[in-house]
Each structure stands twice: as C-alpha cells, then as structure tokens.
Amino acid sequence: MIAIIDYGVGNLRSVEKAFAYIGYQAKVTAKPEDILQADKVVLPGVGAFGKAMEHLAKAGMVPVVHQMIRSGRPFLGVCLGLQLLFEESSEIFGEQECLHKGLGIFPGRVLRFPVSDLKVPQIGWNQITRVKDAPLLQGVPDGSYVYFVHSYYVLPQDPEVTLCQTSYGIDYCSGVSYQNVAAVQFHPEKSSRVGLQILKNFAEQN
Amino acid sequence: MLAKRVIPCLDVKDGRVVKGTEFLQLRDAGDPVELAAFYDGESADELVFLDITASHEQRKTIIEMAARVAEQVFIPFTVGGGISSINDIRNILLAGADKTSVNSAAVKTPRLIAEGAEMFGSQCIVVAVDARRRDKLDPSRGWEVYINGGRVPAGLDVLEWVATVEKLGAGEILLTSMDRDGTKEGYDNELNRAVSETVGIPVISSGGAGNLKHLADGIKLGKADAVLAASIFHYREYTIKQAKEFLAGEQIVVRN
C-alpha cells in the first residue's frame, strides 16, 4: 500500500485517484501508524512552506517522515513536498522575508523565482531535462512536458542529487533523487500520460 | 520554456455537455468524463467546464461531475458558472477540480476572491471577467465589466477591476470579450493586451476564436498565456493537435 501523508494542506485526492487509475492502491491518511506500515510514502503539498511545516509538525509527521526515509522504503515528494525536504526556505510576503526551517533531508535552500518579466507563480506545462538516470524517469522521454504551479524552487547544495532541470528564466532543479528518496516540483498527477508513467515507476519500485 | 496553453471550454447543463457533441466519434459525447478524456488524449493542456444549469437544485450535479472527471482525467481542470460562495468553491475543489472560476459573485462580493485564495491558494481561484467595449470601434475608450452572463453592466472599468482582483489574490484571469463571443471574428486583442500589460498573473483569452490564426493572434498580439475556444474544437473544425501544430509553426512554444 502507498500512503499519502495528509497533514491538512490542500486536496490530496487527485494523487490517490491517479494511483487508482493506473491500478495501485493508495490511501490518503493522517495517521502516523498507517504511514509507518506502508510500503511506500508520498509527501504531497501545496501552498506556503512555513504553514505546511507547522501543520506537518502539529500532525506529528516530522519524526514519521524521517523514520520512513531512514527505513529505506521508496519515498516521493510532490511540489511543496519536494521543497519541504530541504533545510530552509526564505518566504517573501510583500516586503517581508522570513526564514523557515524544513525537514533537512537534503542540504540546500528554497528560493523565490527572481524578479523578471516572467510571471510568478509559474503556471502551466514546462519541460524537464534529465540530469541523471533514475528509475523514476524510466520510459519518460527527455524534454517531456509536465504541469507546474509554483513560485519557489529548490537549490540543492550537492548537485549530485539533481534528477532533472527545468528552465524558467533560470535553469532550476525540478526533481531530485537520492537512494530511496525522490521528489519532483511538478504535479505528476496532473501531467497526463507522462505523469502517470512517473507514478507507475514509483509504485513499481522496491 | 513554459508552453502556451490551449484550452477547450465545455458547457455543461444538468451534468451533460451541450453543444457540438454530435460531431465527436464517441460512445456518449454528452458525457463530460468521456469528452474530457478525449481532449486529454488529443493533448489539450487544460479543460474548463462551465456550468450553465439554470436551477439551483441541479447544482449538485456539477460537483458529482467534477468528482467523476477527477477519477479519469489527469490534466488540470477548472469548474465555473454559478459559483456564489466560499462553500461552492470548497465543494468543487474537494470533488477534485483544480481551479474554480468566479464571475458575478466576485464583483458582488470581492472578498470571496481573497477568502478563496487564503483558504485554498491563489492557484485555485480563476476570476472570469466578461468585458465589453464602451465604443465598439474605439478601444481607447476602454472596456466595461459585465455580470450575470454578460447581460448586466457592473459599473466597473475592466483594467481597474483586473488590477483589483490580482491584489485580492486571484491566480489567473479568464478574459472573455462579449463583443466577440460567438462571432468567430477573433479575440479582442486590444483587450487582451491591455489586461496582460496591467496584471502579472496569467491571462486566458476567450471569446471569438474562429480559426487557428485567431489562436496565434491571441498569444502574439494579445500577449495571452492561454487561449480558450469552444465551437472550433467541439464541431471538429480543428483538432487540438492541428491547433498545436499551427501554433508551433508560428514559433509559439506549445506542448506536443
């Protein structure tokens, strides 16, 4: 069973429905014991980093995530679920900048897209360029389009963890993969055939 | 590069798609789910469902529809039409829609945009703006916002209104030219450009697309981020694939 961590942020049903569509049982759950028993875990998320970390802590999920990752079972972060894996994020609201601590699985930071003539958030279909090979992108043609909605991106300290890159004013890391942990900035559950292939690749990992 | 989006719009009445369904070779082309899956297969980038159900009692059907679409179709979709409260927004998003579009209710209660954005995130809140020129032949006189299906002038200037909705937290603007809607003469690109240059959020151009060049013009001349069309796709005048190929030939980045 695939557990999808519910910590009160956003609608997680589409991830569950996408797994069901391709024939894998997944369950949205807020119970730490369900998650610890799962074969695989998905950490989804939309919205603001600080608020999400607060909710994650309140739901008692911070030690659960760490434990699952240490256990070696396949782990997938989606969208904000990628960003939360990093050490810290500098969120900008109006003129104010605040720093928020993340889960710290990967060294590195989460940054806002630089001011340019491009619109922020980036909303829509953009391409991923493969940086290294990993099971998650098996059968996914290089340069495939996937669906993004985000204002922040991750900057890993160790470039070796970068799985794929995307270009939006800057070339940024749109996916990471290291041992049993993978995470993507885009929404595979909204990326049509390519996205379903990625979810299938995850579901079939051991 | 971020691709420009091509979005078919489906009118839904009492849970069934109306208009153009007889032209598609589907088992049941009136079924929103089957139609949505068909357009996904043709590489439509998103879908917009517009609920034109008249009676309030039938509103439940659009929520059931959203839930069924979400089980079978894995591209983003927006549900709009008749949304009047934060509860309506919540129900549609929980059913599995990615975005809701609000129109008249946003004009009457602008706070709805702010509350929706705060609660669900800006990316979920599309504000639909129906615009009409003050003078058909002179765009320099500006555009007026219309509500209630384009029948009632709201007493608002379009450029002022879009700036307001952006500040309130709208994630995108679905901009329909009431002058062009249904004419097949092309989008009002003076309108599209004026709005695109006013706001920093994506603008979806709507109303008037009659051929593929119109789609390209909406992006090139109108500076739109996405183009929405209904009849040219539903009546199979063009497939989504043809539209994408044409746009690519015009040096516009599209998802293939």
pLDDT tens string, chain B, 256 residues long: the values are 899 999 999 999 888 888 766 666 666 778 999 999 999 999 999 999 999 876 666 778 899 999 999 999 999 999 999 899 999 999 999 899 999 999 999 999 999 999 999 888 888 999 999 999 999 999 999 999 999 888 899 999 999 999 999 999 999 999 999 999 999 999 999 999 999 999 999 999 999 999 999 999 999 999 999 999 998 998 889 999 999 999 999 999 999 8
Give the C-alpha separation, A11 to B199, whole Å.
Answer: 27
Tell me which chain B residues have a C-beta less than 8 angstroms from the C-beta of A20.
71
Reported as a pLDDT band with limits 50, 70 and 90, residue A118 is: confident
CB-CB: which of B1, B45, B226 is closest to A167? B1
Q: Which residues have a Cβ under 8 Å from the Cβ of A118 and sit 6 or more positions away?
A: A168, A169, B2
| Residue A19 clears pLDDT 80, i.e. is over it | yes
Tell me which chain A residues have a C-beta less than 8 angstroms from the C-beta of B74.
14, 18, 21, 189-192, 195-196
Q: Which residues of A145-171 are buried (b: 16+ CB within 10 A; e: fewer)?
A: bbbbbbbbbbebeeeebbbbbbebeee
Give the C-alpha separation, A172 to A23, whole Å.
Answer: 32
CB contact under 8 A, B74 and A149: no
Residue B171's Cβ-side half-sphere holds a number of Cα atoms within 13 Å equal to 26
| Residue A26 clears pLDDT 70, i.e. is over it | yes
A13 reaches B (C-beta below 8 A): yes
pLDDT computed for residue B245 by the predictor:
98
B61 CA: distance to closest CA in chain A (Å): 19
A142 CA: distance to closest CA in chain B (Å): 13
Model pLDDT for residues A42-71, shown as the tens digit of each residue: 999 887 899 899 999 999 999 999 999 999
Q: Is A79 a catalytic residue?
A: yes
Q: Which residues have a Cβ under 8 Å from the Cβ of B163 and sit 6 or more positions away?
A: B198, B199
B123 reaches A (C-beta below 8 A): yes
Tell me which chain A residues have a C-beta less than 8 angstroms from the C-beta of B98.
14, 190
Percent of chain B with pLDDT over 70: 95
Domains of chain A, first to last: 2-203 (3.40.50.880)
pLDDT computed for residue A13 by the predictor:
85
B137 CA: distance to closest CA in chain A (Å): 31
pLDDT computed for residue A206 by the predictor:
82
B4 CA: distance to closest CA in chain A (Å): 8
A145 reaches B (C-beta below 8 A): yes
Map tokens 């980036």 to a residue.
A122
The yes/no answer to whether this complex scores an ipTM above 0.85 is yes
- Give the catalytic positions of B in this structure: 11, 130
Q: What is the mean pLDDT of residues A93-122?
A: 89
Q: What is the mean pLDDT of residues A131-154?
A: 96
pLDDT computed for residue A51 by the predictor:
87
B98 CA: distance to closest CA in chain A (Å): 9
- Return the CATH number of B5-249, one of 1.10.357.10, 3.20.20.70, 2.170.190.11, 3.40.50.2300: 3.20.20.70
pLDDT computed for residue A70 by the predictor:
97
Mean pLDDT of chain A: 94
Tell me which chain B residues have a C-beta less than 8 angstroms from the C-beta of A21.
71-72, 74
B121 reaches A (C-beta below 8 A): yes
User: Judging by DSSP bridges, how do beta strands A170-178 and A162-168 pair with one another?
Assistant: antiparallel
Of A164, A162, A169, A156, give the one whose Cα is nearest residue A188. A164
Q: Phi-psi category of A79—alpha, beta or left, where left has phi over 0 and alpha has psi -120 to 50?
A: left
Tell me which chain A residues have a C-beta less than 8 angstroms from the C-beta of B204.
none
List all residues of chain B from 33 to 72 with a beta carbon under 8 Å from chain A.
40, 43, 45, 70-72
CB contact under 8 A, A119 and B120: no
Domain ranges of chain B: 5-249
* Contact present, B46 and B40 (Cβ < 8 Å): no
Tell me which chain A residues have a C-beta less than 8 angstroms from the C-beta of B200.
119-120
Percent of chain A with pLDDT over 90: 83
